[in-house]
Chains A and B, each alone.
Chain A
Amino acid sequence: MNETKKIIEYSQIDSDRMRINVGPQHPSTHGVFRAEVEIDGEIVTELVPHIGYLHRCFEKHCEKRNFHQIVPYTDRLDYVSSMNNEWPYIMAVEKLAGIEVSEKVEILRVICAELNRIANHELCVATFGLDCGAFTPFLWLFRDREFALAILEKLSGGRLLYNYFAVGGMQKDIYPELKKDIKAFVKRVRETVVEVNNVLTYNKIFVNRTANVGILPKDVALSYACSGPVARASGIDYDLRKNEPYSVYNRFDFKTSVIREGEERHGCVGDSWNRNWVRVLEMEESCKILEQAIEILPEEGDVTAGIPKKVKVPKGEVYAHAESPKGEMGYYVVSNGKDIPERCRCRSASFVNLACLPDIVRGTMFADMIVILASIDIVLGDVDR
């Protein structure tokens, strides 16, 4: 009786399909992401993402820490672009507490965010190449990223987790050679981008691997609320720095890098190649912003003066968002008038962008799955929080 039941069960299994666990310990899942993949030969027929291996209770922690103490925790969400995580949180608290910051602070924040954006995109392009098997550009970009981190380290004291932004100002003032360092860095980035484009981005093998792979149509991207380079590669003109110019972004001259129908260089709108291309273009735009920012950055002025000892926050709630390299990063802060927030909800770009993965992976090759995952640019600290 049992025997027959078993046989019936077995016969119902489609024997041509194979289920593989990709991750959490797999070289290309960018951390501890686990994807349960069903493959038919080389074709992926189903992908079930499993997340949560890196969950660190960020939101619960926030309910126990005062407004200053939360900043180091925000660093650890998307740990490759910490400055951009701190900013929206600081914006939210400042909005709630009604704190105004000086011009120097704002410009310094822009510089930090853009440096970190370049560092993040360099990492993303590098690992994207690595997932396609190109090892050399990976290390060139990592070498350059070191220079961005060195500048940020000289500014803040931290190399990866900066804790540089503070409610009402910055933790430390600028250092004398900042402008010189940034100029040298921008020059370097431009050189490396040319090299990496020639070795990797325009390479025929790479184009064949990534163009027309993992197409995310505009409407699907909209319905999944994708943001950042993922959305812009799908033709959605959405960049908070332009659409809702926060801080002093309206003083800079730069373009949003949107891939529009008919303008794509390779592949089609919304494919992996263009997602990567948006990042390459954004590096150049960030370089432009940096160049303009160091021109108008005032030498004088104390950036630490405005930091209150205890943040006095009235009752209320506020949502503030900013354009992080991965997409829209937002915090919803609820205060009950104490110096500890009642609730701090975080909207992270990686988590939202990752949601579209099963949809665009279905029907592609197994090797494409890795490419698509890499092109979405997730950081598991940001996904799991």
Chain B
Amino acid sequence: MSYIKNITDGFGTAATGMKFTLKHLFSPNVTVQYPNTNPYTEISAVDKIPDRARNRLLLDPDICNGCTSCARACPVDCIEIDTVKVIANDPDQPTLSDGTKRRLWLAKYDINFAQCCFCGLCAAACPTEALKHTTVFDYCTYDVNDLLYHFSTMTPEQIAEKKKLLADEVKAKAAAAAAAKSEN
């Protein structure tokens, strides 16, 4: 008896399954044809890349004050920051975009996206919201070195100049201190 039941079961369940697959043959499909459809605009609300998506980072060097909180928060150490102190009587009188005075020149701000794991800890740690995730995800390159992004806008000459200014100031201060000491 179970022999017959097994056979009827076998055919019955197969037929049920085939009924469902036939139904799906005519149901709408869900494929998103990625490079043809723009993933940012021409896509249904479900598949759209949300604004919160943690993709490539973008730094606004005008806001960043060079505090290195982000580099310290990064678990894989892929942010490299180099800063030069702004001397008191800098000829440029730099300000940040929120109007406050800039204390540190951002000589180097590199993020290596080949190492970045897009965890978002750096953006969370940033006190000024200078560093943010964008939704740009398609930026692959042929050379892995191209994934090292330089965000600092300063030219090497400018950096050298600022470094020299700082060194001069330090020297001047040291000289002044020495002078003050000898006076005493």
Contacts and interface: CB of A to CB of B under 8 A. Distances in A.
Q: Do A and B come from one complex?
A: yes
Interface residues of A, number: 35
A19 B74 CA distance: 47
A72 B10 contact: no
Given A65-B75, A150-B46, A156-B52, A72 B121 contact: yes
Interface in A152-167: 153-159, 161, 163
Contact of B119 (A140, A155, A163, A203): A163
B21 interface: yes
Interface stretch (B12-20, B92-100, B138-146, B174-182): B12-20
24 contacts: A65-B75, A69-B121, A72-B75, A75-B119, A136-B21, A136-B24, A140-B24, A143-B30, A150-B46, A154-B50, A154-B52, A156-B52, A157-B53, A163-B120, A171-B120, A198-B16, A198-B20, A199-B20, A200-B17, A202-B16, A204-B6, A204-B10, A204-B13, A205-B13
A195 interface: yes
B21 A68 contact: no
Nearest to A76: B117
Contacts of B133: 157
Contacts of B149: none
A169 to B, nearest CB: 11
A277 interface: no
A170 B86 CA distance: 37
B124 A198 contact: no
Given A150-B47, A163-B121, 17 more contacts: A68-B73, A69-B73, A69-B75, A75-B119, A140-B24, A153-B50, A154-B50, A158-B118, A161-B118, A161-B119, A175-B50, A195-B20, A199-B16, A203-B13, A204-B6, A204-B10, A205-B10
Interface string B77-97: 000000000000000000000
A156 B14 CA distance: 41
B54 interface: yes
Nearest to A163: B119
B75 A205 contact: no
Interface of B: 6, 9-10, 12-14, 16-17, 20-21, 24, 30, 46-47, 50, 52-54, 73-75, 117-121, 124, 133
B54 A158 contact: yes
Nearest to B47: A150
A73 interface: yes
Contacts of B12: 204
Contact of A203 (B6, B14, B46, B74): B14
B48 to A, nearest CB: 9
Contacts of A198: 13, 16-17, 20
A43 B148 CA distance: 54
B75 A73 contact: yes
Nearest to B74: A69
A71 B117 CA distance: 12
A247 to B, nearest CB: 23
A72 B117 contact: yes
Interface string A24-68: 000000000000000000000000000000000000000001001
Nearest to B19: A198
A172 interface: yes
Interface string A290-325: 000000000000000000000000000000000000
A369 B105 CA distance: 63
